[in-house]
Structure formats: structure tokens, C-alpha cells
Amino acid sequence: MARPLVTVLTTPVPGGVRHAYQALRSAVRPLVKPSVPLPAMSAYPGHYSVTRSVVEGLRAIDADFNFNPSRFCDVGSIVYAPANEALAQAIAMKRHGRIRWLVAGPTNVLVPDETAGIIRAPEIDRLIIASDWVRELYASAPLLLPKLRVCPVGVDAAYWRPVRQSRESRALVYWKNGDERFCATVDEVVRRAGLEAIRIRSAHGASALFTSDQLRRELDDAIVAVYLSSFETQGIALAEAWAMDVPTLVWDPKGPAEWRGHVFTSRSSAPYLTPATGRTWTTLAELELVLGEMMRDRTRLAPRAWVLAHMTDAICARALYDILTRDRE
């Protein structure tokens, strides 16, 4: 089989000895431990939402690519490595002439000096960022600015789709930032609008506080979602709500934010919010106002239609594939 043009790499390619060991272990384990299943492995190693969208989107557009090959000879000449352990290996491959084009981001780092500055490696040809405002986080690394390309990831619109024909009088409160008293006050604003407040707790960098199925069920019951997040580079959870045809009211403080000890100024908590998908607010008084307006006239909102036109897996993967294969200037 011919090598593909592109390889998506989120786990390192095992070397010859390692590959042989893994094959032997897989063959012998059922005999040695017949009643003990192998440890569960993610189908999309790395940042799950990003990896899943990229892989499924590229499959949807019938791209010439493979995903985490087990042999070096199957690695394409173009490598996209959005996970750091795989990126370190890909940098070495580029250095030794095994690949000719290397793209990283958006989940390797948030700021350039994270992870020992891996993103500064000269072997990296392009860096994907999730939205335009993230360019500001690279101010300390001006040599990287020409490499930056904006490309969001998509959502699975078949999974994130409304099922109920009619929805309950509920509002989902997605609590990612702000103290609990602030969140409780938001709940009160929601209740004053005649809605039941259903809270989901989240956090930056945390993925195990709830399941996708749980979030989908709550969104399927909601007529609006209120999102509390101090910053978002893209806001995948927002796109998931929109795909469920749930408009969002997003707290957008545009103030000091922190990520793993790095303090910066947030420029957006909803980079892709549009009049079709919701509104932003800063103060609780503004929330009360925009929530009332939305409840009085929801006909102007069409969040799922916007996602289907702009942010499916296939649409975003097409934009990424063009950066991987055509952006050589």
C-alpha cells in the first residue's frame, strides 16, 4: 500500500523493537491472562475532541491520510502533530529528512514557552491556532507569528443533535469559571426568567467532570444555555450546544485570565459566537436583559443551522487539509 500524503500523529510511532514487543504482548496476553482484558485505550489519543474531529472530518472528506501508524514506513511526507510526545518525534523526523512538512497546534501549548518551548522548534512549518485572538498570546515569540494559521475544529452534528420535539422550561448553566456565589447568582437570574437552572460543572483542562452523554441529555432539555468561562480559544462546548439547537448566553469578561501559571488578558470567551447562535454579557444586569430579550423572541436564532453551515467535522477538516497540503508560501 502506498504511503498517504498526510499522517495525523498523536502518539509516537513505535520503533522496531517496541513494535515487535507490542505485537508479541498482544499475541501472548490472552494465553497468560485470559480473564483480564487489556487496558482501555482511547480511540482518539491526545486532546479527545480535537483528535476526534480531525480524524472523522478527514475521513468524511476522503482525504489522503492515515492516523497514528504503527510503522515509520507508513508515515506520510506531511505530518500533523497536535500532541507533544508525537510532536517531539515528528520534529526529529523532520530534522533527519524523513518528512518534509510539519504542522502542530492548537492543543500542544497555549503560550509559546509551555512545555520547554517545544513549539519554537524551527522544524515546525505551521502552527494552528483555534481563533484569531490567540495571536496575542504569541507576542513574546515574534518569529512564530508568520507560521500561525487560524482553524477551528468541528463537532459531530449527528451526535450533537436535538431529539426531543419540545423542550422543558430549563436553562443549562455551564460553570467553568467564577466563584460559586457568582454562579448561584446566575442561577437566580435564570429562575427569575421563569426557567429551571440545571448546572454542569466544568474547568479549564479538565475532561472528566461529566460525560458527553450527560451534557447532551441536559442540552436536549434546555431552551437556552448560560456559559461561565473567563476565556476560550475556540469554545467547543459552545458549538456542541449550538449543534443541539440551543442558543447560548456567554459571560465575556475580557479580563485577566490564568492557565497553568501563565497570566494573560482574555480577549474572548466565545470567539465564534454570532447573532444566530447567542449573545454575550458582562454584568448580571446585562444577563437579565439579554435573557429576557432571547425569551421574548427566539425566532431570530438558528444555532444548529449555523453549525451545519460553518462548523461540522467535515467543514473544519477541509480547511485544515488545505493548510496541510496547499499552504507552502
> Distance (Å, rounded) from C-alpha 100 to C-alpha 79?
8
What 3-state DSSP class applies to 225?
A: strand
Phi/psi zone of residue 42: left (φ > 0), alpha (ψ -120 to 50 degrees), beta?
A: beta
Q: Is 152 in contact with 129 (CB distance < 8 Å)?
A: no
CATH number of residue 204's parent domain: 3.40.50.2000
Q: Say what the pLDDT of residue 236 is.
A: 97
Mean pLDDT of the chain: 91
* Reported confidence tier of residue 145, pLDDT bands at 50, 70, 90: very high
Residue at 160 is within a domain: no
Residue at 65 is within a domain: yes
Residues 6+ apart with CB under 8 A from 188: none
Name the helix (H) or strand (E) containing 108.
none
Residue at 165 is within a domain: no
What 3-state DSSP class applies to 244?
A: coil
Is residue 199 domain-shared with residue 126, that is, in the same domain? no
Name the E strands within 37-188: 65-67, 78-80, 101-104, 126-129, 148-150, 170-175
Is residue 14 domain-shared with residue 147, that is, in the same domain? yes
Residue at 318 is within a domain: yes
pTM of the model: 0.89
Residue at 263 is within a domain: yes
Is residue 247 domain-shared with residue 285, that is, in the same domain? yes
Is residue 322 domain-shared with residue 284, that is, in the same domain? no
Rounded to the nearest 5°, which phi and psi values hold at 3? -65, 145
Rounded to the nearest 5°, which phi and psi values hold at 13? -70, 125
Is residue 95 domain-shared with residue 183, that is, in the same domain? no
List pLDDT tens digits, range 179-221: 999 999 999 999 999 999 999 999 876 556 789 999 999 999 9
Residue at 241 is within a domain: yes
Q: Say what the pLDDT of residue 23 is.
A: 42
Q: Say what the pLDDT of residue 207 is.
A: 58
Is residue 120 domain-shared with residue 177, that is, in the same domain? no
> Distance (Å, rounded) from C-alpha 276 to C-alpha 68?
37
Residue at 253 is within a domain: yes
* Span 235-246, average pLDDT: 97
* Span 232-251, average pLDDT: 97
> Distance (Å, rounded) from C-alpha 263 to C-alpha 213?
33
Q: Say what the pLDDT of residue 260 is.
A: 86
- Residue 126 in this model has a pLDDT that exceeds 50: yes
List pLDDT tens digits, range 311-326: 999 999 999 999 999 9
Residue at 159 is within a domain: no
Closest CA to 251 of 277, 280, 224, 271: 280
Is residue 174 domain-shared with residue 306, that is, in the same domain? yes
Q: Is 273 in contact with 250 (CB distance < 8 Å)?
A: yes
Is residue 17 domain-shared with residue 106, that is, in the same domain? yes
List pLDDT tens digits, range 67-123: 999 999 999 999 999 999 999 999 999 999 999 999 999 999 999 999 999 999 999
Cis status of the peptide bond prior to 106, with omega within 30 of 0: yes
Number of separate domains in the chain: 2
Residue 227: which domain range? 170-310
Is residue 244 domain-shared with residue 257, that is, in the same domain? yes
Q: Say what the pLDDT of residue 19 is.
A: 44
Is residue 235 domain-shared with residue 267, that is, in the same domain? yes
List pLDDT tens digits, range 281-310: 999 999 999 999 999 887 889 999 999 999
Is residue 273 domain-shared with residue 147, that is, in the same domain? no
* Reported confidence tier of residue 166, pLDDT bands at 50, 70, 90: confident
> Distance (Å, rounded) from C-alpha 72 to C-alpha 74?
5
Cis status of the peptide bond prior to 271, with omega within 30 of 0: no
Closest CA to 249 of 291, 188, 202: 291
C-alpha cell at 236: 467547543
- The fraction of the chain above a pLDDT of 70, given in percent, is 90
Distance of CA 98 to the CA centre of its chain: 29
Highest mean pLDDT among 22-26, 35-39, 149-153: 149-153
Is residue 110 domain-shared with residue 200, that is, in the same domain? no
* Span 143-159, average pLDDT: 98
